[in-house]
Structure 1
Amino acid sequence: MSSGIEVSGSQRRPGIWSYFSFSGPRRRVSVSLPRNSDPNRGVDDDDDPHAKAARHSRNRSSYSDAFMNEHKGGAVMNQGQRLRYLKTGGVIAFILLVLYFIAPSDRIPRPGAVSTAPGGNAATGEAKAECTKSYHKDKPLYQYALMIDAGSTGSRIHVYKFNNCGPSPELEKEDFKMTPKKEGGSGLSAYADDAEAAARSLDVLMEVALKSVPKEYQSCTPVAVKATAGLRKLGEQKSNDILAAVRRHLENDFPFPVVSEEKKGVEVMPGEMEGVYAWITVNYLLGKIGGPDKNPTAAVLDLGGGSTQIIFEPTFPDTPRGGLPTKLAEGDHKYELSFGNRNFDLYQHSYLGYGLMEARNNLHSTILANLHDTHKDNREYLKQPIVNPCIPPGMSREIEVHMPKGHALGDSLTVNMTGPSTSAPTQCRGLAEKTLHKDDECAIAPCAFRGVHQPPFAQTFATEAVYLLSYFYDRTQELGMPESFTLRELQDLADKVCSGEKGWDVFSAVPQALDELKGRPEWCLDLNFQFELLRSGYGMPIDREVKIAKKIKGNELGWCLGASLPLLEANSGWQCKIKQVQ
């Protein structure tokens, strides 16, 4: 089967986009005739051919009175009635003739027209078109797909509804639900020693699917589960046990067909695909791929709990200039994508162990490792509060810290960490930068961090849009940051948060912000890590503008939409279930 997404060279991946091209004509729209809005009109007036607007009724009454005063006698009155009937019949015939020529032949909207249906906007063309027939003979008018994102901190379900009114599927609706938060996380990895409990943890999500997908569509609505960073860290045996339990539970206890093992329906998703799918989702919803827009694409940076991804389309000069090559170097970081009749050479990398939750532990373990290097075998300091510059003054927290494998302090230990007497955001950023290991050996220069090659961001992606997703959004939007801001403004925000309660008056106008800050000493660390990841890690200039987003056009961002689209096509690894007779 030919593929719409193709990978060539050493990094060619199996094609997944064989099913359709995203380009296609604009959907057709319809004209709806406005209804009479006279408040005096009766509810049954539509059925009365003599019922007109109020002013017409009054005119007819006056005319009838004058006629009756001038002509006495039943014969004349009958003649007047006949004349009135003839006139009324003529008006009705004229109206029907007009309706015949201007009304659509069916409910499928006519090309170029604009809907004025309730909720629409005739001036802007925002009204949704309506159709009753699928564009493709082999596809139903509506299709649903279920995608479960089994992340490190919790699992989430996305219930997508598409229509096939045009040559390519159009996302019409999305329902979204996350497993309830709990201490230690609510993701599959939280049930490392109980695979069956891990599978049952998805029940609350599947209930949403049962309610969102009409019963007549459920047996032909595929479901896939993609686990990410959290499950990767459990090890192969435990993660395989959990995935097998999840597959059994979904196949046996729910009406939805599960995508086959061959098509990776329930899997630990490779990190690079997480970034690629997120990039497709964002740029598809922005209209930058799969349509007429040929403008530069947007970069996508995703910060999860266990890992972080970066993916963008770098541009290079036609001839070597300023040390820049003319194309993206070969390697695992290169992903060649063919999409919507365009080819993209994408840079991508997924950093396992640098999601926000892992970043916290990295920093805490760095503090303890530094103290151990200073005190050696004297561990009395572990019994005292340990000063942490990433905690605001006056705050403290009992923290379980997991140390690197084989460390002298053991695998893990719980300590009390407290903020300094005065805020120290600069020291916090220094620790955050240290966790990035910028000095690791760089095999293919230049490198971002951990010895991973990356084209210089400032030179190869200088002006295009940068979208920050997931925890980037959560940690900034909740404190009142706008949709667009610079890295310098992010640094200023971190400084205010790290200053402690005396500097938090600025957040008093932001709903729930003060409660969040008072309840979570980690805010200072989180913001400083994000800043250092963007500036020191990825090499963004401090005045570079970035955008945070959770949704585009009402649709949740992330990799799930990009991974769900292939499920709409034949040969994507599932078949409709046989409906059970009740």
Structure 2
Amino acid sequence: MQTHLLRVLGWSSVAVLGVLGVAVFLLVLTPAKDAALPTRNKYGLVFDAGSTHTALYIYRWPVDKENGTGIVSQVEACTVSGPGISSYADDPAGAGDSLKPCLDKAMKVVPAEQQRETPTYLGATAGMRLLREQNSTKAQQVFAEVAKAIGEYPVDFRGARILTGKEEGSFGWITVNYLLGTLVKCSFTGQWTHPPAEDAAGALDLGGASAQITFLLGTTIDDSSTRALLRLYGTNYSIYTHSYLCYGQKQALKMLMASLHQGSASPQEISHPCYPKGYQENITTASLYDSPCVHAPSTPSPAQVLTVTGTGDPAACSTAVLKLFNFSCGANRTCGFNGVYQPPVRGQFFAFSGLYHSLHFLNLTGGQSLSSVNATIWQFCTSTWGKVQNEFPTMNRTHLRDACAASSYALTLLLQGYKFNHTTWPNIHFVRQVAKVDVGWALGYVLNLTNTIPSETPQRVVGLRRSNWIAATVLLAIMLILIFCLLTITCCQKNSSGYESL
């Protein structure tokens, strides 16, 4: 009887062990549903080759995008030493060499294993547009040397090209609104939300050779050449944008000087009302008329020396600046200037680049009223050269000389050119950065680019849920106990059989 009982217990233990073994086997084979590897990031490099300088921006974004567009962040920025690449027309190799220190810096930021897949671009703006107009062969040589220099680095170089004015304006608008969170923003719950399209702000960009105005359309546009259609984060945007070539600050001040020369009573002398009284310098006719933005007299003498004398007259300065614009519009048409269609400005605007710098010098970027801005510029423009040098001893001489002209030009462009007034002036916010990121076209360029880069499926790893591990451990412990019991029963069974044989 006892032997039979031991046998029954033995076979029962074997059966239980079998069931437990199958259970553990099934648990081990059951993978975790959400065991994904950490999200991988992509990197992108963009050279912003402006008319006066070049900067390299290093961006990063997760491979899994939000409604088709990447969530991009600026990792690093590097200012290239020297002038813009268009200044190397007679030394193309110098343009390429100037980029290398910033490329060296980028190679220390982008992980080595990802460098060869990092898309790298160089976008040139109005400076190279003007060089192409002057001498297309020289422009091509500059681009060839730039491409050669970048090609020496282990990156996915996708070319150097000249952006159109519409692209420059559109990408600047994207940058501003992305940084403001009016395109997409992260909620308190960690989810990405999409604000209404009408929340988008306008963008006002003033470079060295061109000026851009871009804002969301409130009505149907009358001129399709000034309309751009964008799709970002699953939302469509119809914006007005126009770029005025030659109306960047550097070229505008050159046009101003040429206009004063051509209106001067003496062909060898220029009285400059925007320069401080007491300032004087000599320039050559060749340096004055070396740009396609400046229309030279019929028979200019390149070697002729001109004497420029500052008179510090703000009223005459304002009048001279106004002469750079043509404010006539066609019948039944609204326009900005030079006959270019522009609907009335609407909403909030963010002004950056030259617009910010020219007014920031006079501490006029803190939300001052238009009356206060006018009064401050007027007062500064009456200062003598000796006075401004004493007040700003460390200021670059050229920037100090141009401060009155630059601020007067910026104000005229905004008020008479773009048609802002006392009512809409408070809607302009002058900024250098938004959310600690530089404002310009480069970030918008990368954001738009991510629309064309396919998302990657997050890599997953087969693993166990924590609950599966716990259950498997418990079952294995039970199995070990049962095995111990089975061995004990077997041993007792043998001993019992031995007793019975005696």
1:470-523 CA-partner distances (Å, limit 9, x unpaired): 011112223323443344333223212212159979x96xxx687357962111
Match of 2:255 in 1: 362
Match of residue 335 from structure 2: 447
Q: In the alignment, is the contact (CA less than 8 A) between 2:278 and 2:385 conserved in 1?
A: no
Q: Deviations over 1:99-143 (max 9, x none)?
A: xxxxxx9x99xxxxxxxxxxxxxxxxxxxxxx9622xxxxxx111
Tell me whether 1:292 sits opposite 2:194 in the alignment: yes
Aligned 8 A contact 2:268 2:305 in 1: no
* Residue 393 of structure 1, aligned match among 269, 277, 287: 277
**RMSD between superposed Cα atoms in Å:** 3.0
Aligned partners of 2:81 and 2:98 also within 8 Å: no
In structure 1, what residue type is equivalent to 2:50? Answer: G
Partner SS state of residue 346, structure 1: strand
Residue 540, structure 1, aligned to residue 420, structure 2: yes
Counterpart check, 1:196 vs 2:93: yes
CA contact (8 A) 1:333 1:347 kept: yes
Distance 1:256 1:481 in 2: 42
Select the residue among 208, 213, 218 that pairs with 1:310.
Answer: 213
2:435 is the counterpart of 1:553: yes
Specify the structure having the higher radius of gyration (Cα).
2
Matched position secondary structure for 1:234:
helix
Q: Cα distance 1:356–1:412, how it changes in 2: closer, same or farther (>3 A)?
A: farther
* Residue 309 of structure 1: how far off its partner (Å): 0.5
Q: Structure 1, residues 68-101: CA drift from partner, whole Å, max 9, x if none?
A: xxxxxxxxxxxxxxxxxxxxxxxxxxxxxxxxxx
How big is the shift at 1:443? Answer: 7.6
Residue of structure 1 equivalent to 2:446: 564
SS of the residue corresponding to residue 224 of structure 2 reads coil
Match of 2:81 in 1: 180
Q: Which residue of 2 aligns with 1:499?
A: 382
Q: In structure 1, what is the equivalent of residue 110 of structure 2?
A: 213
CA contact (8 A) 1:334 1:346 kept: yes
Please state how far the C-alpha of 1:244 moved relative to its aligned partner: 2.3
- How far apart are residue 571 of structure 1 and its match? 5.4
Partner of 1:246: 146
Verify: 1:484 aligned to 2:367, yes or no. yes
Which of 338, 343, 349 is the aligned partner of 2:236?
Answer: 343
Q: Residue 198 of structure 1: SS of its match in structure 2? A: helix
CA-CA distance at 1:274 after TM superposition: 0.2
Distance 2:404 2:438 in 1: 27
CA distance change for structure 1 residues 202 and 388 in 2, over 3 Å: closer, same or farther? same
Secondary structure of the corresponding residue to residue 104 of structure 2 = helix
| Equivalent position SS for 1:484 | coil
Q: Which residue of 2 aligns with 1:154?
A: 53
Q: Where does structure 2 lack aligned partners over 5 or more consecutive residues?
A: 1-31, 185-192, 455-502
Instruction: Work out the CA distance in 2 between the residues paired with 1:170 and 1:338.
Output: 14
Match of 2:175 among 281, 303, 306: 281
Aligned to 2:154: 255
What is the one-letter code of the residue matched to 1:144?
Y
Q: Does the 8 Å contact 1:478/1:513 carry over to 2?
A: no
Q: What is the CA–CA distance in structure 2 between the aligned matches of 1:314 and 1:413, rounded to whole Å?
A: 49
Q: Percent identity?
A: 26
Deviations 1:157-202 (A, max 9, x none): 1111223476453334431122224xxxx11111112322222221
| Structure with the larger RCO, 1 or 2 (CA within 8 Å, 6+ apart) | 2
1:29-108 counterparts in 2 under 5 A? none
Q: In the alignment, which residue of structure 2 is the partner of 1:526?
A: 406
User: Does the CA contact (< 8 Å) of 1:405 and 1:411 recur in 2?
Assistant: no
Q: Which amino acid aligns with 1:188?
A: I
- Write the distance in 2 (CA, Å) between the matches of 1:293 and 1:232: 36
What is the CA distance between 1:346 and its match in structure 2? 1.1
Structure 1 residues 444 and 274, CA gap change in structure 2 (3 angstroms): farther
Contact 1:227 1:267 (C-alpha < 8 Å) held by counterparts? yes
More helix per residue: 2
Change (3 A) 1:228 1:484: same
Cα 1:382–1:132 shift into 2, 3 Å? farther
Q: Report deviation, 1:410.
A: 4.8
In the alignment, does 2:307 pair up with 1:416? Answer: yes
Aligned to 1:19: none
Question: Structure 1 CA distance, aligned partners of 2:237 and 2:393?
Answer: 41
Secondary structure at 2:401's aligned position in 1? coil
How far apart are residue 449 of structure 1 and its match?
1.0
| Alpha-carbon spacing, 1:242–1:444, altered in 2? closer, same or farther (3 Å) | farther
Structure 1 distance, partners of 2:131, 2:452, is 34
- Aligned to 2:72, the other structure's residue is in SS state strand
Q: 1:331 is matched with which residue?
A: 224
Structure 1, 359-368 or 233-242: larger mean CA deviation: 233-242
Letter in 2 for 1:171: V
CA distance in 2, matches of 1:292, 1:570: 20
Residues 277 and 385, structure 2, Cα contact 8 Å, conserved in 1:
no
Quick one: distance in 1 between partners of 2:309 and 2:297?
A: 26
Residues 39-87 of structure 1, C-alpha deviations (whole Å, 9 max, x = no match): xxxxxxxxxxxxxxxxxxxxxxxxxxxxxxxxxxxxxxxxxxxxxxxxx
Structure 2 contact 61–70 (Cα < 8 Å) conserved: yes
Deviations 1:270-323 (A, max 9, x none): 11100000001111111111343225311101000011111111324xxxxxxx
Measured in 2, the distance between the counterparts of 1:519 and 1:565 equals: 34
Residue of structure 2 equivalent to 1:407: 298
Aligned to 1:15: none
Q: State the Cα distance separating 1:382 from its structure 2 match.
A: 4.0
Deviation at 1:414, TM superposition (A): 4.5
Instruction: Assess, with a 3 A threshold, how the Cα gap between structure 1 residues 410 and 347 changes in structure 2: closer, same or farther.
Output: farther
1:353 to 2:246 alignment: yes
Give the SS at the match of 1:404.
coil
Amino acid at match of 1:301: L
CA contact (8 A) 2:54 2:79 kept: yes
Number of residue pairs aligned between Structure 1 and Structure 2: 399
CA contact (8 A) 1:243 1:266 kept: yes
Paired residue for 1:427? Answer: 316
Indicate conservation of the 8 Å contact 2:80/2:102, yes or no.
yes
Deviation string for 1:206-258 (max 9, x for gaps)?
A: 1221222232221221110001111111122221222122222212x111110
**Alignment match, 2:326:** 437
Give, in whole Å, the separation in 1 of the partners of 2:267 and 2:166.
Answer: 39
Q: Residues 314-347 of structure 1, C-alpha deviation per residue, up to 9 Å, x if partnerless?
A: 324xxxxxxxxxx211321111223333332211
**Does structure 2 retain, via aligned residues, the 8 Å contact 1:401–1:413?**
no
AA matched with 2:156? P
Shift of residue 358 of structure 1?
0.2
C-alpha distance in 2 between matches for 1:553 and 1:431? 38
TM-score of the aligned structures, taking structure 2 as reference length:
0.73
SS at match of 1:364: helix
Any unmatched runs of 5+ in structure 1?
1-104, 109-130, 135-140, 260-264, 317-326, 376-380, 573-582
